[in-house]
Amino acid sequence: MTMRRQRPRIAWALGGGGARGFAHLGVLKVLKEENIPVDALSGTSMGAVMAVLFAAGTDLKYLSALATSISWEKFVDLRFPRYGLVEGKRIIPLIRLLTKGKKLEELEIPVRVIATDLLTGEEIVFDQGEIETAVRASISIPGIFTPLPYENRILVDGGVVAGVPVAAAAEMGMDLVIAINVAGELDSEAPRSVFDILYRTFEIMSKRLDGIQTEKADLVLSPEVGKVGTVQFYRAEECIEKGEIAAREALPEIKRVLEEFQYKKEERAEYGA
């Protein structure tokens, strides 16, 4: 009797990074073109945005065109409220539109969106409910976006506890976890505004945490996004290209990891382990 060959199932952990997160688009484009499986996704901050859009079946070419042509300033509702500089209300209709009004549990691919409870320090994992609510929580960089009150919690950016959500991906029941880290490099220029100081502080904290978390992944892709700033959304095209390059360069390694896992699985089955 011939045993039917079953491929490994892969969960992809998409890290946060503001504008650098557009590199995820480039990676996902290559994965789709090369028929590399995307069986589950976890995402933090911009990684969460890309995860839900991909899982909703949004056309990647359309997303790339949108990312490089849209005026992102229109979605930054600067009001100087008490607990943050940006209220974040304008992003909600855009996410709802692009995900076709679906809920997380209705997506074609399972997705977990990561946020942080400011009251307890807990990692909050969304796997059901309104996509726009989960994303709004996940992108709420402390001091920049106002926190999101949600079910007796106060939620901020998932990057506070899980910049690259490998642990959440590992809990999705897949065989392998591949992380995409878009941390980039720190800008050597001195901060010139309160925004710069806040973003830089968050980047330093996240960069240290990301290195620890990605150690638990089976493979890590790190697009060379350089010193693209967190809010330099006008550099979207550059980041998308860097993501494509990183994914194509990593294809042999991705395939090696898949084949190695499959070989070990078949070996265990053969010897009854």
Please state the length of the chain.
273
Catalytic hit among 117, 157, 210, 218: 157
222 is catalytic: no
Question: From CA 117, how far away is CA 104, in angstroms rounded?
Answer: 20
**3-class SS at 26?**
helix
| Active-site pick, 45, 64, 138, 140 | 45
Strand partners, 12: 41, 178
Helix (H) or strand (E) run with residue 144 in it: strand 143-145
Distance between CA atoms of 147 and 140, rounded to whole angstroms? 6
Residue 157 appears among annotated catalytic residues? yes
Residue 130 DSSP code: B
In degrees and rounded to multiples of 5, residue 191 shows phi and psi of -60, 140
Dist CA 98 CA 100 (whole Å): 5
Q: CA-CA distances (angstroms) from residue 162 to 5, 45, 108?
A: 34, 10, 24
Residues belonging to the active site: 45, 157
